[in-house]
Amino acid sequence: MIQIELAREDVISINADVLVLKHAQSFYGADESVYLRLVQQGICDENDVCPQDGDTAFLATLGAIGAKHALFLGTPRLGKFSYREIRLFAQRAIEFLANERMPIETFATTVHGAGYGLDIEESFRSMILGFQQGLTSHPIATLKKIIFVERNTRRHEVLQAALGDVQLVLPAVSNANDVVPKGTVNKLIVTPPRKTVFVAMPFSENFEDVYQFGIYATVRRCGYVCEKVDESLYAGSIIDRITCGIQEAEFIIADLTEERPNVYLEVGYAWGLGKPVILIAREGQRLHFDLSHHKCLFYRTIARLSEQLERTIHDLFVQARS
């Protein structure tokens, strides 16, 4: 069986035979850190690890980072890199490593999406499914472990819980004709795609706990994928990402606290599309006259917000689709 582990560590120092990274036609986050280290150490030139969508760059790191080799897979730009593309990314990684016929026992990677608005649990499951599909058709007989690297404490906690839901191991296969055993991660294949909820709220660290514990965890419990865009992390056209997120969502949750213009704009856009919007705000927040006559969930504590929000989602949407 192939073990799946989580490491709360920096990708620069993770010990593995191969570190698998994306190149979304520019560098972001972990892949940028590795890229800069390899270039600074003289391992490669700037253009050596910039593969186009569908191409690859594979090189020995010669001790510049903890992993012995780095694999950069060219992907679409972030605006077009969603759950389907994440699954294909994982599948491509397995296929490439299998074709290299190297004695790979361990490879490491990161979970994509959290920095530009995707649901990290859904991204994680997409990667697991991609690895599973890749191993079914392109087995790697020597592979023993896949490590997901996440140094953010809260995200690591979320992934740790999600890891328990999808089982601790992937099936090891000895040839391409092997059938993946039942009872491992097959439920990921048969589970239909979850509907999406888009969250509009102030771009501020002060609201991170509100989002993570009051909104994100609640939306996930109700059976939805939860997405938002963080202006400080997202690279690319943030307006395009927001409008796309609203267009694809079943409904929107908008936190009107502090009367941020971006939130009011997103509410107006959602209403223009005929999308349902759940309004929330901290107690004491004054609402503009054009929203003051709409129902709003006022919260004093995160626990109270979670309770009210779960009841509202269940009454308006969960019961309606059951």
The pLDDT of residue 185 is 40
Q: What is the DSSP secondary structure assignment for residue 214, as one 8-state letter? A: I
The pLDDT of residue 318 is 80
**Tokens representing 32?**
């940028």
Using CA atoms, how far apart are residues 229 and 200, in angstroms rounded to an integer?
A: 8
The pLDDT of residue 205 is 80
Map tokens 């990667």 to a residue.
Answer: 127
Q: What is the DSSP secondary structure assignment for residue 41, as one 8-state letter? A: T
| AA letter at 16 | A
**Tokens representing 168?**
């601790």
Using CA atoms, how far apart are residues 322 and 318, in angstroms rounded to an integer?
A: 6
Residue 183 neighbours by CB under 8 Å, 6+ apart: none
The pLDDT of residue 321 is 66
Alpha carbons within 13 A on the beta-carbon side of 139? 16
Phi, psi at residue 256, to the nearest 5°? -90, 5
Using CA atoms, how far apart are residues 141 and 105, in angstroms rounded to an integer?
A: 9
The pLDDT of residue 236 is 53
**Tokens representing 111?**
């979970």
The total of other beta-carbon atoms located within 10 Å of residue 37's CB is 16
The pLDDT of residue 173 is 45
Alpha carbons within 13 A on the beta-carbon side of 223? 12
Using CA atoms, how far apart are residues 147 and 53, in angstroms rounded to an integer?
A: 24
Using CA atoms, how far apart are residues 8 and 149, in angstroms rounded to an integer?
A: 6
**Over its length of 322 residues, how does the chain's per-residue pLDDT go in tens digits?**
788 999 999 999 999 999 999 999 888 888 999 999 999 999 998 888 999 999 999 999 999 999 999 999 999 988 788 899 999 999 999 999 999 999 999 999 999 887 777 899 999 999 999 999 999 899 999 999 999 999 988 889 999 988 876 653 455 444 434 444 433 443 444 345 679 999 999 888 888 899 999 999 999 999 999 999 865 444 456 787 888 889 999 999 999 999 888 899 999 999 999 999 999 999 998 887 667 678 899 999 999 999 999 999 999 998 766 5
Using CA atoms, how far apart are residues 280 and 212, in angstroms rounded to an integer?
A: 15
**Tokens representing 64?**
């510049």
- Tally of helices (H runs) and strands (E runs) in the chain: 11, 12
Using CA atoms, how far apart are residues 139 and 149, in angstroms rounded to an integer?
A: 23
In what helix (H) or strand (E) does residue 23 lie, and over which residues does it extend?
strand 18-23
Using CA atoms, how far apart are residues 271 and 246, in angstroms rounded to an integer?
A: 10
